[in-house]
Structures are given as C-alpha cells and as structure tokens.
Structure 1
C-alpha cells in the first residue's frame, strides 16, 4: 500500500447521485493534498453495503497521517475499524444520506434481511459524529434503532438510542445553485439574490399543455404504481398534459412504468435517465410541476433542484418534504394530488402565473459551506 500525508480520509462506497454530488462540492473547499478519496461505483448497492469495509481496509494506506475519516452509512464502520485498528484514533464522521431502518417493504417480500439496517446501527455506535441530511432522516433512525434490535431472536440488548443521539447533527446535502443556473443558461440574479427562492417564470409558454416531471429512480420505494394511477386518472378526466419520466432505472423496468409508456406514449416527451446534467436541468427548467410519489425520501435533492429552476413541487405530506415545502405544495391523499394536477391542466395560463415561493436558502452551498469546512477541517482530535 502507498503512503499518504493527507489529514482527511474520505470513503464512499456508492459514488454516484447525491453521494457524488456532495463530495464534488465539499472537497473543493480543501486543497487536493488535504484529503485522500477512495470510492466504489454506484452499482450493486447490497454488495457495497456488505463488502465495502473489507475493500477499503485493503486500499487505505498503512503509512498515513489521517486525523479524520468521513464515511457514509453504506460502509460498516465498525467492521472497518476492526480490520484497520490504526484508524481508531482518527475522528470518525459518519454521514447518512438515507437509512434502511424505515425502508418500505416490497409487496411480495415475506422475510426481510435486516443486515443492512444492523450495519448502520453498528456504524453509528462506532462513529464519533453522526450526521444526517435532514431532521426526518435523523428522527426516523433514532426512533427505530432500539426496535430493530428487539427483532433479534432470544437476545436482549441494552437501549442504544441515547448513545447515538448525543453524537447526532443535521447537515443537508447542498444545492449548487450557481452551477445549476449556469448549466441552463440562466443568470443567477434572475433566480433571486438570496439564491434560495424559486420564483423564476416557467419554461413553458402559456398555450402549451402542463408539463409534469417525475425525477425518481425507477424502484418500488419511489412508488411508481401511484405515479401511474395519478396519470391514468388525469387521462380519464381528459386533462391535457405532457410528462417527463426521468431518473435511473435498475435491471428491470417496473410494470407500472411500462404501462405508462404503453398507454400514454403520446403524452411522454422524455422517457429514461439523462446522463447529461445540462440536458437534465434543461428538462426541469422547461417543466411546470415536479411530482413526487415517494415512500422513501430523506431529502429530495431532485425536487429541490426542480423547484429552484421554476417547477411547482407537489409532494406527499410526509418524509422530509414538510421540512422545506409550504403546505400548499403538499398532498395528503392521491385524490388531492389528482385534483391539484387536474386544475393546473385545465387552467394552464393561470397556473403558470402562480409561484410556490419555496425558500431553499438554507440548503444552498453558499449557506452550508462554512459548516462543512468546520466539520471536515483539520483540527486536533482528542478522545
């Protein structure tokens, strides 16, 4: 193994999406010589969760001067420290983009594998600081960590919530507003001076159908079945709309997404993942409404980005969404979502004059960079 003079060791076992986005921003706060970054591709998540600790243990330089370790919850930190005890004296900062303790069960799932949830609990116990992207993420983890251990047969554990909670803090994944606006050719000042308020006029002209964008991964936890049902109901009501179905697909396309593609083909203007950020953001900037149907969402970076680019967010009144969206952007039932969308479709000109006024200033990189610099900066750590 090579040697390293870096002070910060950064480990990311799922280097893609919001995970990659976070590191691309915060590591730019430091010179290259300050940190050592080791990653694994954002594929085969279950294998990354199970095996990344051994992989990193083999790749981390043995001759190093690390003072801090920044690692995400996809890697079992407890295992890593057991394999590499030389890291035990470093300050260990664990970041949760999501947590598996409240991952929704598949409809055909009989027995759940709790190993991934258990790994996260062990990692939180082994860490010195535990950071979550939203209060909902932190709350849902803390509320369920002791109940998870109660599922272990013929075994009794002491409560652990208090041990973890005292180490916890909330620090969101930042939105890079300047880059976001630059990629779609908009002047930053046009979005607004405070960078966080989405009051920009929408990209569609008044005589065009309402454009709905669904930016989720094509997996069951994003509830594509509800998305299908909402679109089909709009179609049944003879609503005029167009839809962009974005997000990454897994090995198989959900049946509900295939049904939408088959029955509403004439209304689909984009279907599938857009690898170009510029193209992706331009689709968002030309859309009217960003719709979420998620059952599992811990921040919703795609919704935030769409809102900044002028989309009206329409999201479930649960998960992380109520932390930053006003009540008028939240729905409690599918019928409420359908009613909102139907009214928008029938009064497109009037709808485009509305503004959701979503204040996302606290989530911008400009607002959060100092906190990340303090969290990952070079300080002496004494246990």
Structure 2
C-alpha cells in the first residue's frame, strides 16, 4: 500500500471522504479512530496512530484530516517525515463556532497551524474555509502574550488549494418530477465512472413533494432529505412502481416531449399550462410547503430542494444570489411568499451548477493529489 489514509474522527463527512478514496483509488490503506469525543481525538490521536500504524517501506503518501495533530505524528514517527503529506480541512478551528459561554481553546487552532507548516500540501473544502483560516492566523497568534511568530500566513498560503468535498450523487430519478429530470443529465455524478448508476442510497420523498432547504450554520454533517414520513410514510426505492423513468434516454425523451406543458412563471399559472389546468396540477398547488434543514445542501438541491441560505459563510460560493437572504426580515418575506404559493417551488428549476461537486468531476483531482511528484526521491 503506497497511500496512507489517517482519519482521527471516522464519522460523518470525514468517514465518507476517506471511504470514497479507499474505494476508488488504488493502493490505499486506512487507519481510523471512532467519531467520538472530538476534543480528545484532536489532543491524543497522534500517539495512538504512532503505536498502531505498522512501519512499511511502501508508503509514499500520507493523507489526514485536520482533526489530527500532524506535527506530533511526524515527530513520533520519523519514518513518516519523508512522505508526501496532504492535510485536508473539513473545517478550521480559527473560526469554528463555539458556545457563547465558552472561550475558544487556543490549542486546537494552534495545532492546525503547526500541522500546516509540516504538511506539503494543505487542502480546503471551499475557498471560504481556506481564506477564513489564512486571514485569521495573524489575529489568532496575537492571543499569545509575547514572542509571537511572524509571517505564518505567508509560509502556509503557497501550499494551499481548494478541492471541494466530492459527492456520489444518489439515483433520485424515480421520485423526481419529470420537468426537473433534465437537470440531472448535466451532472457528471449522474453518469458515474464506468458504472452508469453508482449512487448512494438516501431517504425518499414523494415524487411531487418539493421542499425548501434552510440552515442556521455551515454544518456539513448529513442527516436526511425530507419526505412525507410524518403523515404518510417514506416510500423506498423498492416500493416505487417499476414503470417510472429509469434510463437517461427515457429521461430525455419524456422531458423534451413535456417541457412545453410546464409553467415556468412565478406570478401564477398560465392559461396554456397543462400542469396548472389539470386536476392533478391544481391539487399539487394546494399541498403544503415542507421546510427542512437538510445540512447536506450539495445532495438536497440535487434531490429537488429549493435552497434558501444566508448570504454569509460559504453559501455565496456555492449558490447563486437569488437563493440567498441577508436579514431575518428577508427570510421571513420569502418564506411567507413560498408558503402562500408552494407551486412556485414545485415549478422552479435550480439555476446553479452541481457538477463541480460530483465525484465524477473531482476524482481525477484527488487522484493527482494522491500521487508522488515525478522524480520525487522517497
């Protein structure tokens, strides 16, 4: 095994990433700790891995998330020092929210700064994550009473790059309304790598029951995609009728033949719109709006949710301006409008791009990241 994957917090998105790397990239070996007691993992994981990971002359790459104190591990295992060390940030401890009654623990952010100095490549899951970390280093180090180090941002920045978190998009065609199916055809994750349908499974929602996604923070831990389980029960993939659309060719044929019958107006139904004139269409407009906090946006929007996010943190980097709000008053007005007219959400076609977040699009970049440089002497 030439690629050493280390995850000190093996759960949620951290687990999803290293599992994906191990599955799709050759010559990987994975060492982990359970996703419990995060603070203790950040403090002590290096010592555990020092004793657990066997020595091997085959290692060429070390990939670890920012929970691990990489500096300690390299000091404890000098044989790892010669490896190409890739340090991946899911979040950073210089700006990560803390409880109001609690002061930020200096040590966690300090450990991440030291680890960046030791790493060969520092990777962030968004430009916001990268810039918020780098530009906060100077202010953060001023917490030291004296003898403060200088020019740390300048030393670390040349090593940094952005590589979005990769998503294997689920197969949602069986419960998507037909007028939204065409959007999936433009996302590489819907086509896969060799296998045309390499999807993860997700909870399912009723075919025409669209939702609005909302959030309070930038938590990346996936919970669920909303379904009508509270009143009518979730419908699994196996329970769906087998005559629903199942192939890209059928998707294109159906959407092209019916695209003219769907109303795209947000001010009300048009006279020639079959979706609005049929009894089914009128009944659909009366269905209540479902509002959820999905936590995993890159998946929720793909499943047909309408994103409604604060114009802050990473959201402007991901979503077009029309899906963002600046104040609670703006959020209230938009929610009020959507609750009165849920058909606006159901008819809406998402105007952003999802392809850049798919594993199909990012796989090559991760593979390049986890290869040694030409003529590198290890």
* TM-score calculated relative to the size of structure 2: 0.72
- Say whether the 8 Å CA contact 1:329–1:356 is kept in structure 2: no
- Which residue of structure 2 lines up, in the alignment, with residue 23 of structure 1? 18
1:366 to 350, 360, 366: 360
State how 1:202-217 maps to structure 2 within 5 Å.
211-212=211-212
- Which residue of structure 1 lines up, in the alignment, with residue 344 of structure 2? 350
In the alignment, the residues of structure 2 paired with residue 214 and residue 141 of structure 1 have an alpha-carbon distance, to the nearest angstrom, of 25
In the alignment, the residues of structure 2 paired with residue 181 and residue 322 of structure 1 have an alpha-carbon distance, to the nearest angstrom, of 27
- Which residue of structure 1 lines up, in the alignment, with residue 184 of structure 2? 192
Instruction: Mark the runs of 5 or more structure 1 residues left unpaired by the alignment.
Output: 1-5, 224-245, 249-266, 280-285, 293-299
Q: Deviations over 1:111-164 (max 9, x none)?
A: 331111111101101000000010000000100112211111122212211110
Cα deviation, residue 61, structure 1: 0.8
Cα deviation, residue 349, structure 1: 2.2
Residue 63 of structure 2: SS of its match in structure 1? strand
Q: Deviations over 1:314-334 (max 9, x none)?
A: 111111111120111101111
In the alignment, the residues of structure 2 paired with residue 197 and residue 289 of structure 1 have an alpha-carbon distance, to the nearest angstrom, of 26
Q: Deviations over 1:31-87 (max 9, x none)?
A: 3xx122100111111111111111111111123321110011000111111111111
Structure 2 residue 132 is matched with structure 1 residue 140: yes
- Higher-Rg member (1/2): 2
> How many residues get paired?
305
Structure 2 residue 91 is matched with structure 1 residue 130: no
Q: RMSD across aligned C-alpha pairs, in angstroms? A: 3.4
- Which residue of structure 2 lines up, in the alignment, with residue 338 of structure 1? 332
- Say whether the 8 Å CA contact 1:290–1:313 is kept in structure 2: no
- Say whether the 8 Å CA contact 2:175–2:205 is kept in structure 1: no
- Say whether the 8 Å CA contact 2:189–2:358 is kept in structure 1: no
Residue 135 of structure 2: SS of its match in structure 1? helix
In the alignment, the residues of structure 1 paired with residue 152 and residue 173 of structure 2 have an alpha-carbon distance, to the nearest angstrom, of 45
In the alignment, the residues of structure 2 paired with residue 378 and residue 27 of structure 1 have an alpha-carbon distance, to the nearest angstrom, of 17
- Say whether the 8 Å CA contact 2:189–2:360 is kept in structure 1: no
In the alignment, the residues of structure 2 paired with residue 354 and residue 113 of structure 1 have an alpha-carbon distance, to the nearest angstrom, of 44
Residue 308 of structure 2: SS of its match in structure 1? strand
Q: Deviations over 1:214-248 (max 9, x none)?
A: 688xxxx669xxxxxxxxxxxxxxxxxxxxxx849
- Say whether the 8 Å CA contact 1:49–1:75 is kept in structure 2: yes
2:299 to 298, 301, 305: 305
Cα deviation, residue 351, structure 1: 3.0
Cα deviation, residue 23, structure 1: 1.7
Pair 1:184–1:382, CA change in 2 (3 A): farther
Structure 2 residue 106 is matched with structure 1 residue 114: yes
- Say whether the 8 Å CA contact 1:49–1:74 is kept in structure 2: yes
- Which residue of structure 2 lines up, in the alignment, with residue 7 of structure 1? 2
* TM-score calculated relative to the size of structure 1: 0.71
- Which residue of structure 1 lines up, in the alignment, with residue 230 of structure 2? 269
Larger fraction in strand: 1
Structure 2 residue 150 is matched with structure 1 residue 158: yes
State how 1:215-364 maps to structure 2 within 5 Å.
247=223, 269=230, 290-291=292-293, 302-364=296-358
Structure 2 residue 55 is matched with structure 1 residue 38: no
In the alignment, the residues of structure 2 paired with residue 140 and residue 176 of structure 1 have an alpha-carbon distance, to the nearest angstrom, of 27
Which aligned segments of 4 or more residues in structure 1 are displaced greater than 6 angstroms?
A: 183-189
